[in-house]
Structure 1
Amino acid sequence: MEPFIRSDQYHYIKQQVRHIVQTSALINDQEMVQTIQDLGKDKMMEVFHELTDLERRILEGITKLEDRTDAEMYEARILPLVHPFEMPAEEEVRELFPYLTKVKPPLLGANVDERDLTYLSWFDAGLDRKFIVTYRNGELVGMEGSFTYSGQKNLCSICREHEHVGLFVTDVTEYKRRGNYVCKDSVTCNRNITDQRHLYKFMDNMKR
Protein backbone atom coordinates (compact mmCIF):
# COMPACT_ATOMS: atom_id res chain seq x y z
CA MET A 1 0.00 0.00 0.00
CA GLU A 2 1.33 3.43 -0.94
CA PRO A 3 2.06 6.01 1.78
CA PHE A 4 -0.68 8.61 2.18
CA ILE A 5 0.16 10.25 5.52
CA ARG A 6 2.40 13.31 5.88
CA SER A 7 4.87 13.53 8.73
CA ASP A 8 2.95 16.29 10.51
CA GLN A 9 -0.28 14.31 10.16
CA TYR A 10 1.41 11.26 11.68
CA HIS A 11 2.56 13.29 14.66
CA TYR A 12 -0.95 14.70 15.05
CA ILE A 13 -2.35 11.16 15.02
CA LYS A 14 0.15 10.15 17.72
CA GLN A 15 -0.96 13.15 19.76
CA GLN A 16 -4.58 11.99 19.55
CA VAL A 17 -3.55 8.42 20.38
CA ARG A 18 -1.74 9.56 23.54
CA HIS A 19 -4.74 11.64 24.60
CA ILE A 20 -7.14 8.72 24.10
CA VAL A 21 -5.00 6.22 26.02
CA GLN A 22 -4.10 8.57 28.87
CA THR A 23 -7.66 9.83 29.33
CA SER A 24 -9.27 6.41 28.99
CA ALA A 25 -6.99 5.04 31.73
CA LEU A 26 -8.60 7.46 34.17
CA ILE A 27 -12.20 6.58 33.28
CA ASN A 28 -14.19 3.46 34.17
CA ASP A 29 -17.26 4.35 32.12
CA GLN A 30 -16.98 2.43 28.83
CA GLU A 31 -19.50 4.70 27.13
CA MET A 32 -17.38 7.72 28.00
CA VAL A 33 -14.26 5.94 26.75
CA GLN A 34 -15.99 5.30 23.43
CA THR A 35 -16.94 8.97 23.22
CA ILE A 36 -13.30 9.97 23.75
CA GLN A 37 -12.19 7.52 21.05
CA ASP A 38 -14.77 8.86 18.60
CA LEU A 39 -13.75 12.47 19.29
CA GLY A 40 -10.13 11.54 18.68
CA LYS A 41 -11.08 9.90 15.40
CA ASP A 42 -13.08 12.94 14.29
CA LYS A 43 -10.19 15.31 15.07
CA MET A 44 -7.79 13.05 13.21
CA MET A 45 -10.00 12.83 10.13
CA GLU A 46 -10.19 16.63 9.93
CA VAL A 47 -6.55 16.81 8.79
CA PHE A 48 -7.22 14.54 5.79
CA HIS A 49 -9.08 15.86 2.76
CA GLU A 50 -9.31 12.78 0.56
CA LEU A 51 -9.14 9.16 1.71
CA THR A 52 -9.95 5.87 0.06
CA ASP A 53 -12.22 3.47 1.92
CA LEU A 54 -9.22 1.31 2.82
CA GLU A 55 -7.21 4.28 4.13
CA ARG A 56 -10.17 5.40 6.21
CA ARG A 57 -10.65 1.94 7.71
CA ILE A 58 -6.98 1.75 8.68
CA LEU A 59 -7.08 5.11 10.45
CA GLU A 60 -10.37 4.32 12.18
CA GLY A 61 -8.51 1.68 14.16
CA ILE A 62 -7.91 4.52 16.60
CA THR A 63 -11.40 3.86 18.02
CA LYS A 64 -10.30 0.42 19.25
CA LEU A 65 -7.40 1.52 21.44
CA GLU A 66 -7.63 0.46 25.07
CA ASP A 67 -4.10 0.69 26.45
CA ARG A 68 -0.50 1.63 25.66
CA THR A 69 0.16 -1.69 23.94
CA ASP A 70 -2.75 -1.09 21.55
CA ALA A 71 -1.42 2.41 20.91
CA GLU A 72 2.07 1.17 20.06
CA MET A 73 0.69 -1.47 17.70
CA TYR A 74 -1.54 1.08 15.98
CA GLU A 75 1.32 3.54 15.49
CA ALA A 76 3.57 0.78 14.18
CA ARG A 77 0.84 -0.28 11.74
CA ILE A 78 0.46 3.17 10.19
CA LEU A 79 4.15 4.18 10.24
CA PRO A 80 4.88 2.44 6.88
CA LEU A 81 2.12 4.60 5.39
CA VAL A 82 3.95 7.86 6.16
CA HIS A 83 5.67 9.69 3.31
CA PRO A 84 9.43 9.98 3.98
CA PHE A 85 11.03 13.38 3.50
CA GLU A 86 12.69 13.51 0.10
CA MET A 87 16.31 14.43 0.70
CA PRO A 88 17.33 17.14 -1.80
CA ALA A 89 20.42 16.72 -3.93
CA GLU A 90 23.39 18.96 -3.26
CA GLU A 91 22.81 20.73 -6.58
CA GLU A 92 19.21 21.54 -5.62
CA VAL A 93 20.31 23.07 -2.33
CA ARG A 94 22.95 25.18 -4.05
CA GLU A 95 20.31 26.51 -6.43
CA LEU A 96 18.35 27.77 -3.41
CA PHE A 97 21.37 29.68 -2.11
CA PRO A 98 23.43 30.62 -5.20
CA TYR A 99 25.11 33.50 -3.36
CA LEU A 100 26.75 31.11 -0.87
CA THR A 101 29.64 28.84 -1.78
CA LYS A 102 30.14 25.27 -0.62
CA VAL A 103 26.67 24.94 0.89
CA LYS A 104 25.39 21.36 0.97
CA PRO A 105 22.76 19.38 2.89
CA PRO A 106 23.89 17.29 5.86
CA LEU A 107 23.98 13.53 6.17
CA LEU A 108 21.22 12.29 8.45
CA GLY A 109 22.25 10.39 11.55
CA ALA A 110 21.29 6.75 12.01
CA ASN A 111 18.75 7.77 14.66
CA VAL A 112 16.82 10.03 12.26
CA ASP A 113 13.83 8.59 10.41
CA GLU A 114 13.03 10.56 7.24
CA ARG A 115 9.35 9.91 7.93
CA ASP A 116 9.69 12.17 10.98
CA LEU A 117 10.77 15.16 8.90
CA THR A 118 8.64 18.01 7.63
CA TYR A 119 11.71 20.11 6.94
CA LEU A 120 15.48 19.75 6.84
CA SER A 121 17.70 22.06 8.87
CA TRP A 122 21.37 22.26 9.70
CA PHE A 123 23.97 24.70 11.00
CA ASP A 124 27.05 25.25 8.87
CA ALA A 125 29.83 26.33 11.22
CA GLY A 126 32.08 27.31 8.32
CA LEU A 127 29.50 29.73 6.95
CA ASP A 128 28.10 30.54 10.41
CA ARG A 129 24.59 30.10 9.01
CA LYS A 130 21.56 27.97 9.85
CA PHE A 131 19.61 26.56 6.89
CA ILE A 132 15.95 25.53 6.68
CA VAL A 133 14.72 23.62 3.63
CA THR A 134 11.30 22.11 2.92
CA TYR A 135 8.82 21.37 0.16
CA ARG A 136 5.85 23.60 -0.52
CA ASN A 137 3.31 22.65 -3.16
CA GLY A 138 5.86 20.17 -4.46
CA GLU A 139 8.59 22.80 -4.83
CA LEU A 140 11.81 22.91 -2.82
CA VAL A 141 12.10 26.16 -0.86
CA GLY A 142 14.53 27.37 1.76
CA MET A 143 15.92 30.15 3.87
CA GLU A 144 19.08 30.83 5.82
CA GLY A 145 20.17 33.11 8.61
CA SER A 146 22.24 33.51 11.73
CA PHE A 147 21.42 31.47 14.82
CA THR A 148 22.22 32.28 18.45
CA TYR A 149 21.32 29.72 21.11
CA SER A 150 19.43 31.30 24.00
CA GLY A 151 20.44 28.70 26.59
CA GLN A 152 16.87 28.24 27.76
CA LYS A 153 13.45 26.94 26.76
CA ASN A 154 10.87 29.07 25.00
CA LEU A 155 8.09 28.73 22.45
CA CYS A 156 9.38 27.60 19.06
CA SER A 157 7.84 29.48 16.14
CA ILE A 158 7.84 26.36 13.97
CA CYS A 159 6.59 23.48 16.13
CA ARG A 160 4.78 25.65 18.72
CA GLU A 161 6.21 23.69 21.63
CA HIS A 162 8.41 24.80 24.53
CA GLU A 163 11.89 23.54 23.72
CA HIS A 164 15.49 24.72 23.90
CA VAL A 165 15.52 27.51 21.33
CA GLY A 166 17.75 30.10 19.74
CA LEU A 167 17.20 33.31 17.80
CA PHE A 168 17.11 32.76 14.05
CA VAL A 169 17.66 36.02 12.13
CA THR A 170 17.37 36.58 8.38
CA ASP A 171 18.19 39.55 6.17
CA VAL A 172 14.96 40.68 4.52
CA THR A 173 16.61 43.59 2.71
CA GLU A 174 19.95 45.34 2.95
CA TYR A 175 18.59 47.44 5.80
CA LYS A 176 15.95 45.17 7.32
CA ARG A 177 16.37 42.04 9.44
CA ARG A 178 13.79 39.81 11.04
CA GLY A 179 14.19 37.23 13.80
CA ASN A 180 12.28 34.67 15.79
CA TYR A 181 12.90 31.76 18.13
CA VAL A 182 13.21 28.23 16.74
CA CYS A 183 14.29 24.91 18.22
CA LYS A 184 18.00 24.34 18.60
CA ASP A 185 17.44 20.66 17.75
CA SER A 186 15.61 20.45 14.42
CA VAL A 187 14.97 16.70 14.82
CA THR A 188 13.06 17.31 18.04
CA CYS A 189 11.28 20.19 16.34
CA ASN A 190 10.20 17.99 13.44
CA ARG A 191 8.86 15.36 15.80
CA ASN A 192 6.78 18.04 17.51
CA ILE A 193 5.18 19.37 14.32
CA THR A 194 1.48 18.50 14.05
CA ASP A 195 0.58 21.10 11.43
CA GLN A 196 2.95 22.02 8.59
CA ARG A 197 1.16 25.35 8.14
CA HIS A 198 3.01 26.69 11.18
CA LEU A 199 6.29 26.15 9.33
CA TYR A 200 5.01 27.90 6.21
CA LYS A 201 3.68 30.82 8.23
CA PHE A 202 7.03 31.16 10.00
CA MET A 203 8.90 31.23 6.69
CA ASP A 204 6.48 33.76 5.20
CA ASN A 205 6.77 36.06 8.22
CA MET A 206 10.56 35.91 8.19
CA LYS A 207 10.64 37.19 4.61
CA ARG A 208 8.32 40.17 5.08
Structure 2
Amino acid sequence: MNTPFIRNHQYNVIKKQSEFLQNTLRTVADRSVLETVRYRAAAIITEAFPYLTEDQQQMLEQISTFETAYDFQRYLGALEPYLASYPPITLKQIQKLFPKHKKLKAPDLSSIDFRYVTYLSWVDIATNKLFIVYPFEGQFIGIEGRITPTNKKGYCLFCNRPQELAFFSVKTKPANASPDDYCAVGQYVCMENHGCNQSITDTGALEKFILSVRK
Protein backbone atom coordinates (compact mmCIF):
# COMPACT_ATOMS: atom_id res chain seq x y z
CA MET A 1 0.00 0.00 0.00
CA ASN A 2 1.32 3.43 -0.99
CA THR A 3 1.61 5.85 1.93
CA PRO A 4 1.08 9.44 0.71
CA PHE A 5 3.94 11.73 1.72
CA ILE A 6 4.22 14.31 -1.08
CA ARG A 7 2.27 17.54 -0.57
CA ASN A 8 1.19 19.60 -3.55
CA HIS A 9 3.90 22.26 -3.18
CA GLN A 10 6.55 19.54 -2.91
CA TYR A 11 5.23 17.88 -6.06
CA ASN A 12 5.56 21.26 -7.76
CA VAL A 13 9.23 21.33 -6.72
CA ILE A 14 9.68 17.91 -8.33
CA LYS A 15 7.94 19.05 -11.54
CA LYS A 16 10.05 22.20 -11.70
CA GLN A 17 13.30 20.28 -11.31
CA SER A 18 12.14 17.73 -13.88
CA GLU A 19 11.52 20.49 -16.41
CA PHE A 20 14.84 22.16 -15.64
CA LEU A 21 16.79 18.91 -15.93
CA GLN A 22 15.09 17.98 -19.21
CA ASN A 23 15.94 21.39 -20.66
CA THR A 24 19.54 21.00 -19.53
CA LEU A 25 19.79 17.59 -21.17
CA ARG A 26 18.56 19.11 -24.45
CA THR A 27 20.90 22.08 -24.43
CA VAL A 28 24.11 21.06 -22.64
CA ALA A 29 26.63 18.56 -23.96
CA ASP A 30 29.26 18.78 -21.21
CA ARG A 31 28.89 15.61 -19.14
CA SER A 32 30.43 17.14 -16.02
CA VAL A 33 27.91 19.98 -16.13
CA LEU A 34 25.08 17.50 -16.63
CA GLU A 35 26.17 15.42 -13.65
CA THR A 36 26.32 18.53 -11.48
CA VAL A 37 22.80 19.55 -12.55
CA ARG A 38 21.53 15.99 -11.95
CA TYR A 39 22.97 15.96 -8.45
CA ARG A 40 21.61 19.43 -7.67
CA ALA A 41 18.11 18.56 -8.93
CA ALA A 42 17.95 15.52 -6.66
CA ALA A 43 19.28 17.56 -3.72
CA ILE A 44 16.73 20.37 -4.19
CA ILE A 45 13.90 17.83 -4.28
CA THR A 46 14.94 15.98 -1.13
CA GLU A 47 15.59 19.28 0.69
CA ALA A 48 11.91 20.15 0.16
CA PHE A 49 10.98 17.38 2.61
CA PRO A 50 11.61 17.73 6.36
CA TYR A 51 11.62 13.95 6.72
CA LEU A 52 12.04 11.04 4.32
CA THR A 53 12.42 7.31 4.81
CA GLU A 54 15.29 5.66 3.00
CA ASP A 55 12.89 4.17 0.43
CA GLN A 56 11.20 7.53 -0.18
CA GLN A 57 14.53 9.26 -0.67
CA GLN A 58 15.71 6.63 -3.13
CA MET A 59 12.44 6.94 -5.03
CA LEU A 60 12.80 10.71 -5.40
CA GLU A 61 16.50 10.61 -6.24
CA GLN A 62 15.82 8.46 -9.28
CA ILE A 63 15.42 11.72 -11.17
CA SER A 64 19.21 11.95 -11.41
CA THR A 65 19.35 8.84 -13.66
CA PHE A 66 16.86 9.80 -16.39
CA GLU A 67 17.67 10.62 -19.99
CA THR A 68 14.46 10.92 -22.00
CA ALA A 69 11.20 12.87 -21.75
CA TYR A 70 9.42 9.55 -21.38
CA ASP A 71 11.57 8.72 -18.33
CA PHE A 72 10.55 11.96 -16.62
CA GLN A 73 6.90 11.55 -17.56
CA ARG A 74 6.83 8.03 -16.16
CA TYR A 75 8.62 9.23 -13.00
CA LEU A 76 6.06 11.96 -12.32
CA GLY A 77 3.20 9.56 -13.01
CA ALA A 78 4.64 6.98 -10.64
CA LEU A 79 4.73 9.58 -7.84
CA GLU A 80 1.05 10.49 -8.13
CA PRO A 81 -0.16 7.64 -5.84
CA TYR A 82 2.05 9.17 -3.13
CA LEU A 83 0.41 12.61 -3.24
CA ALA A 84 -0.98 13.67 0.14
CA SER A 85 -4.32 15.30 -0.60
CA TYR A 86 -5.61 18.50 0.96
CA PRO A 87 -7.48 17.41 4.13
CA PRO A 88 -11.16 16.48 3.64
CA ILE A 89 -13.45 19.45 4.11
CA THR A 90 -17.19 19.97 3.82
CA LEU A 91 -19.30 22.94 2.83
CA LYS A 92 -20.57 23.13 6.42
CA GLN A 93 -17.01 23.42 7.73
CA ILE A 94 -16.28 26.22 5.27
CA GLN A 95 -19.46 28.08 6.25
CA LYS A 96 -18.45 27.91 9.93
CA LEU A 97 -15.17 29.63 9.09
CA PHE A 98 -17.06 32.63 7.70
CA PRO A 99 -20.12 32.97 10.00
CA LYS A 100 -20.85 36.56 8.95
CA HIS A 101 -21.70 35.39 5.42
CA LYS A 102 -25.09 33.67 5.65
CA LYS A 103 -25.22 33.15 1.88
CA LEU A 104 -21.59 32.27 1.30
CA LYS A 105 -20.87 31.33 -2.32
CA ALA A 106 -18.35 28.54 -1.84
CA PRO A 107 -16.81 26.56 -4.72
CA ASP A 108 -18.15 23.20 -5.92
CA LEU A 109 -15.98 20.90 -3.80
CA SER A 110 -16.87 17.84 -5.91
CA SER A 111 -15.19 19.40 -8.96
CA ILE A 112 -11.80 19.92 -7.27
CA ASP A 113 -8.90 17.47 -7.43
CA PHE A 114 -7.57 18.08 -3.93
CA ARG A 115 -4.31 16.28 -4.62
CA TYR A 116 -3.15 19.44 -6.38
CA VAL A 117 -4.37 21.98 -3.82
CA THR A 118 -2.18 23.73 -1.26
CA TYR A 119 -4.74 26.34 -0.33
CA LEU A 120 -8.43 26.52 -1.20
CA SER A 121 -9.63 29.90 -2.44
CA TRP A 122 -12.34 31.56 -4.46
CA VAL A 123 -13.55 35.03 -5.39
CA ASP A 124 -17.05 36.33 -4.81
CA ILE A 125 -17.38 38.65 -7.80
CA ALA A 126 -20.47 40.37 -6.40
CA THR A 127 -18.58 41.65 -3.35
CA ASN A 128 -15.02 41.67 -4.78
CA LYS A 129 -13.91 39.44 -1.94
CA LEU A 130 -11.30 36.69 -1.91
CA PHE A 131 -11.77 33.82 0.53
CA ILE A 132 -8.92 31.50 1.53
CA VAL A 133 -9.08 28.28 3.55
CA TYR A 134 -5.78 26.80 4.66
CA PRO A 135 -5.09 23.66 6.73
CA PHE A 136 -2.65 24.38 9.55
CA GLU A 137 -1.68 22.13 12.46
CA GLY A 138 -4.79 20.00 12.26
CA GLN A 139 -7.33 22.77 11.80
CA PHE A 140 -8.62 25.01 9.02
CA ILE A 141 -7.95 28.74 8.99
CA GLY A 142 -10.26 30.96 6.99
CA ILE A 143 -9.42 34.51 5.94
CA GLU A 144 -11.25 36.94 3.69
CA GLY A 145 -10.49 40.31 2.19
CA ARG A 146 -11.08 42.70 -0.65
CA ILE A 147 -9.48 41.77 -3.96
CA THR A 148 -8.59 44.54 -6.44
CA PRO A 149 -7.13 43.79 -9.90
CA THR A 150 -4.00 45.82 -10.69
CA ASN A 151 -3.92 45.14 -14.46
CA LYS A 152 -0.18 44.63 -14.25
CA LYS A 153 2.22 41.76 -13.83
CA GLY A 154 4.50 41.11 -10.91
CA TYR A 155 5.50 38.38 -8.46
CA CYS A 156 2.78 36.69 -6.43
CA LEU A 157 3.47 36.49 -2.70
CA PHE A 158 2.30 32.88 -2.55
CA CYS A 159 3.84 31.20 -5.62
CA ASN A 160 6.56 33.74 -6.47
CA ARG A 161 5.96 33.58 -10.22
CA PRO A 162 5.50 36.55 -12.57
CA GLN A 163 1.77 36.76 -13.15
CA GLU A 164 -1.13 39.19 -13.44
CA LEU A 165 -1.66 40.38 -9.90
CA ALA A 166 -4.43 41.62 -7.64
CA PHE A 167 -4.10 43.45 -4.35
CA PHE A 168 -5.52 41.39 -1.49
CA SER A 169 -6.40 43.50 1.55
CA VAL A 170 -7.46 41.89 4.83
CA LYS A 171 -8.85 43.71 7.87
CA THR A 172 -7.26 42.55 11.08
CA LYS A 173 -7.19 43.61 14.70
CA PRO A 174 -3.80 44.71 16.11
CA ALA A 175 -2.61 43.19 19.36
CA ASN A 176 -4.05 44.87 22.48
CA ALA A 177 -6.40 46.94 20.30
CA SER A 178 -9.85 48.10 21.31
CA PRO A 179 -12.86 46.14 19.96
CA ASP A 180 -13.49 48.71 17.20
CA ASP A 181 -9.87 49.22 16.23
CA TYR A 182 -8.89 47.53 12.94
CA CYS A 183 -6.09 47.87 10.42
CA ALA A 184 -5.66 46.52 6.89
CA VAL A 185 -2.85 44.23 5.79
CA GLY A 186 -2.37 43.76 2.05
CA GLN A 187 -0.26 41.78 -0.39
CA TYR A 188 -0.11 41.19 -4.14
CA VAL A 189 -1.32 37.74 -5.17
CA CYS A 190 -2.30 35.85 -8.32
CA MET A 191 -5.63 36.67 -9.90
CA GLU A 192 -6.06 32.98 -10.75
CA ASN A 193 -5.63 30.52 -7.87
CA HIS A 194 -5.53 27.31 -9.94
CA GLY A 195 -2.28 28.33 -11.59
CA CYS A 196 -0.97 29.54 -8.24
CA ASN A 197 -1.62 26.13 -6.69
CA GLN A 198 0.15 24.48 -9.63
CA SER A 199 3.20 26.70 -9.13
CA ILE A 200 3.66 27.18 -5.37
CA THR A 201 6.81 25.43 -4.17
CA ASP A 202 7.09 26.77 -0.62
CA THR A 203 4.32 27.47 1.90
CA GLY A 204 6.40 29.82 4.05
CA ALA A 205 5.15 33.16 2.67
CA LEU A 206 1.56 31.90 2.46
CA GLU A 207 1.55 30.69 6.07
CA LYS A 208 3.25 33.83 7.37
CA PHE A 209 0.61 36.03 5.73
CA ILE A 210 -2.34 33.90 6.87
CA LEU A 211 -1.11 33.73 10.46
CA SER A 212 -0.48 37.49 10.51
CA VAL A 213 -4.10 38.31 9.64
CA ARG A 214 -6.03 35.46 11.25
CA LYS A 215 -8.59 36.58 13.80
TM-score, length basis structure 2: 0.87
1:127 Cα deviation (Å)?
Answer: 4.4
How do residues 126-141 of structure 1 correspond to structure 2 at under 5 angstroms? 126-141=126-141
SS in 1 for 2:27: coil
Q: Percent identity?
A: 30
- Identify which range, 144-153 or 21-30, moves more after superposition: 21-30
- Identify which range, 18-27 or 189-198, moves more after superposition: 18-27
Question: In structure 2, what is the equivalent of residue 191 of structure 1?
Answer: 198
Measured against aligned partners, the alpha-carbon deviations of 1:76-132 in whole angstroms (never above 9, x if no partner) come to 11122111223421221122122221225311585x532211000011234442100
Q: Report if aligned partners of 2:142, 2:214 keep a CA contact under 8 Å in 1.
A: no
Cα distance between partner residues in 2 of 1:43 and 1:196: 16
Cα distance between partner residues in 2 of 1:128 and 1:31: 53
Cα distance between partner residues in 1 of 2:152 and 2:50: 38
SS in 2 for 1:49: coil
AA partner of residue 154 (structure 2): N
SS in 2 for 1:38: helix
AA partner of residue 184 (structure 2): R
Cα distance between partner residues in 2 of 1:43 and 1:102: 44
Q: Report if aligned partners of 1:148, 1:168 keep a CA contact under 8 Å in 2.
A: yes
Cα 1:52/1:147, change in 2 over 3 Å: same
Question: In structure 1, what is the equivalent of residue 143 of structure 2?
Answer: 143
Cα distance between partner residues in 1 of 2:110 and 2:191: 16
- Alignment of 1:35 with 2:29, yes or no, is no
Question: In structure 1, what is the equivalent of residue 116 of structure 2?
Answer: 116
- Alignment of 1:204 with 2:204, yes or no, is no
**How many matched pairs?**
207
SS in 1 for 2:134: strand
How do residues 45-194 of structure 1 correspond to structure 2 at under 5 angstroms? 45-103=46-104, 105-108=106-109, 113-173=113-173, 174-194=181-201
**Structure 1, unaligned stretches of length 5 or more?**
none
1:186 Cα deviation (Å)?
Answer: 0.4
Question: In structure 2, what is the equivalent of residue 21 of structure 1?
Answer: 22
1:24 Cα deviation (Å)?
Answer: 2.4
1:53 Cα deviation (Å)?
Answer: 2.4
1:52 Cα deviation (Å)?
Answer: 2.1
Question: In structure 1, what is the equivalent of residue 176 of structure 2?
Answer: none
**Structure 2, unaligned stretches of length 5 or more?**
174-180
Cα distance between partner residues in 2 of 1:61 and 1:45: 11
TM-score, length basis structure 1: 0.90
Cα 1:65/1:108, change in 2 over 3 Å: farther
